[in-house]
Structure 1
Amino acid sequence: MKPLSIVIITLNEEKRIARLLSDLSCQTNQNFEVIVVDSNSADRTCEVAEKYRPALPELTIHTMETRGVSLGRNTGAKLAKYERLLFLDADVRLDKNFLENAMTKLEQEKLEVAGIYMGSRKLAPAYKAGYGLFNAGLFTTQFFFPTAVGACIFSTKRAHDEIGGFDESIVLCEDCNYVKKAAKTWRFRFLPLSFQFDPRRLEQDGFFKMGFTYLKANVRRFFFGEMRNNEMEYKFGHYQQQ
């Protein structure tokens, strides 16, 4: 299989980054590099990541002075040495055959950019129902108004460069804007795979509140375009205290 550059953005993730790096070290497909782009964390995120060098020989840790989700992903893409890219958040969990299955499906479908559904394994029934509705929305909109979950997006360097990467002026739904731009040139689809991630976001913001926030944001985007003037305030890293 072709090699892969995995970009992981972090901000005060010492309690979670080890889980993801451990998952990556156990992948059935090991043909990848890992680039951790840290937004100048105040905790031991980078120290914890450093401990995984023996298990992940192609591990790079880059610290930024300026914080930002899109800035971090764009920085990681510039540092990547392979054509195929995978953008991950630090609280993602992956099954051991995730990369092998994903790379196979990407090649079969000839996709430059692809999204991944959110998994709800081990979560409460209410969360499972909510994730199911959210995933149904992702599946439906991919055909006419592509959206995605930024915690897990596949891309390529040529696609990333051609669309100008993630728009650093957008704070909320920058991931949706990314795949929407990409879909204008390439066929975008969701792979029939899922990733798990920490439900702390739902627990901190509230299940219904968070769902309504993203629904409202995407409805607004559909009718009025991207939000670049803080129309809906969203702060990077506000989950770090849990």
Structure 2
Amino acid sequence: MEAELTIVIPAKNEVKMLPKLLKSLCKQDYEGMAQTRVIVADAESTDGTVEVALSFRDRLNVEVIPGGLPSVGRNAGARLATTRFVLFLDADVELPEPTLLRRALWKMTRRDLHLATTNISCRHGGFFDDALYAGNNLVQRMSSFVSPFATGMFMLFDREAFWRLGGFNERALFAEDYLLSKGVERLRFRIVRGKVLTTNRRFKKLGHARMVWMFFKTMLHSWDEGYFLEDQGYWEELEA
């Protein structure tokens, strides 16, 4: 079977979370998984992330390349892709449903889509964590009738459409995934039934109120590209 998919995962010091994602990819029932390149764009990790990624080479077609900020790492991986589709995943997610990848690719092909995403749920989250991700899913669903909205946790792109949009803006310091997804044609975007699991570490670091405020500010500045080029302190606080 000729490869049709490349997976790109930006990572920095994800030795604890990355194995969960890679194990979940091993369990996918997508028949082309063995031919799928899994590119980990590593941003100079110091915790053994690279070694953990390469330890999966007997189960996945894994390779590690130099990364940087998520937008830089994603674009670096996408430049190496030659397949029709490119799937961008965050390193701290996992795919709990073994059919998700197969179904997402089927929908991309059947509907001739440019971008597909799915819902987000929190692994071992509390009430407020679950509520905020449920709110995110609702906004994502409602906005799909006007302008696509997807996060880097799961973005399945048609590669040519991705580059026509210019790829991820490497100057963007905040919400670069949203900035890109809103450029997709509404009728070429779908939300695939299912979910990815993530952690609540963003909420623990920044606080629920701060995350909600940043989300609404993103919506308010959705057409102001300059806002996304300003430092909002997101990555500095997460890495603190």
Instruction: Name the residue aligned to 1:63.
Output: 66
Contact 1:12-1:240 at 8 Å conserved across structures: no
Q: Relative to structure 1, is the Cα distance of residues 216 and 163 closer, same or farther in structure 2, using a 3 angstrom cutoff? A: same
Superposed counterparts of 1:70-149, under 5 Å: 70-95=71-96, 96-120=98-122, 122-149=124-151
Q: Distance in 1 between matches of 2:63 and 2:205?
A: 31
Superposed counterparts of 1:20-31, under 5 Å: 20-31=21-32
2:7 is the counterpart of 1:10: no
Per-residue CA distance 1:127-169 (angstroms, 9 max, x = gap) = 2222222211111112223221111101021011111101111
Task: With the length of structure 2 as denominator, give the TM-score of the two structures.
Answer: 0.89
Unaligned 5+ runs, structure 2? none
Contact 2:121-2:197 at 8 Å conserved across structures: yes
**Identity score, percent:** 30
Deviates more, 1:47-56 or 1:186-195: 186-195
Amino acid at match of 1:87: F
Contact 2:104-2:116 at 8 Å conserved across structures: no
Contact 1:12-1:45 at 8 Å conserved across structures: yes
Per-residue CA distance 1:150-189 (angstroms, 9 max, x = gap) = 11101021011111101111111111111112227x6222
Q: The residue matched to 1:148 in structure 2 has which SS?
A: coil
Instruction: Name the residue aligned to 2:230.
Output: 230
The Cα shift of 1:22 comes to 0.8
The Cα shift of 1:228 comes to 4.5
Instruction: Name the residue aligned to 2:173.
Output: 171
Instruction: Name the residue aligned to 1:45.
Output: 49
Amino acid at match of 2:51: E
Q: The residue matched to 1:85 in structure 2 has which SS?
A: strand
Q: Distance in 1 between matches of 2:222 and 2:56?
A: 40
Unaligned 5+ runs, structure 1? none
Contact 1:85-1:157 at 8 Å conserved across structures: yes
Task: With the length of structure 1 as denominator, give the TM-score of the two structures.
Answer: 0.89
Deviates more, 1:44-53 or 1:200-209: 200-209
Instruction: Name the residue aligned to 2:37.
Output: 33
